Amino acid sequence: MGFISQWVRRVATHSRNLMTLFKYNANLWKYNCQKALDTLLHGRPQQTKHIPFMITSKMKKSLYSLGYVERDINKMTPSEAITTINHCTKKSTKEPALTEVQQDNSTGRT
């Protein structure tokens, strides 16, 4: 008697699993067909433009490889960083000329 009840439970569990799997695949097929029909009738949806709001560590690594240092990266906006990375703009090796205020500070004059 124990064997038969175990067998019945196992068959019931398998049939529930098969039914769930069938429903999942039917819904997936329905969804994919609706998306394909929508694309066919209305064309591809326009992609939205992404607005960067932070410089990620991956972006920082790319900027480091282009010759930028932490100080330069901290001064950049996220959109400047993306533009720099996309155009592979390496940092110029020339140091900017010191301004009069910086020169006064370096000599100790006020």
Neighbours of 81 (CB within 10 A): 21
Which pLDDT score, from 0 to 100, does residue 105 have?
Answer: 56
Kindly indicate the confidence band of residue 80, based on its pLDDT and cuts at 50, 70 and 90.
very high
Which pLDDT score, from 0 to 100, does residue 65 have?
Answer: 92
- Closest-CA residue to 81 (of 43, 40, 52): 52
Q: How many angstroms separate the CA atoms of 17 and 15, rounded? A: 5
Q: How many angstroms separate the CA atoms of 11 and 17, rounded? A: 10
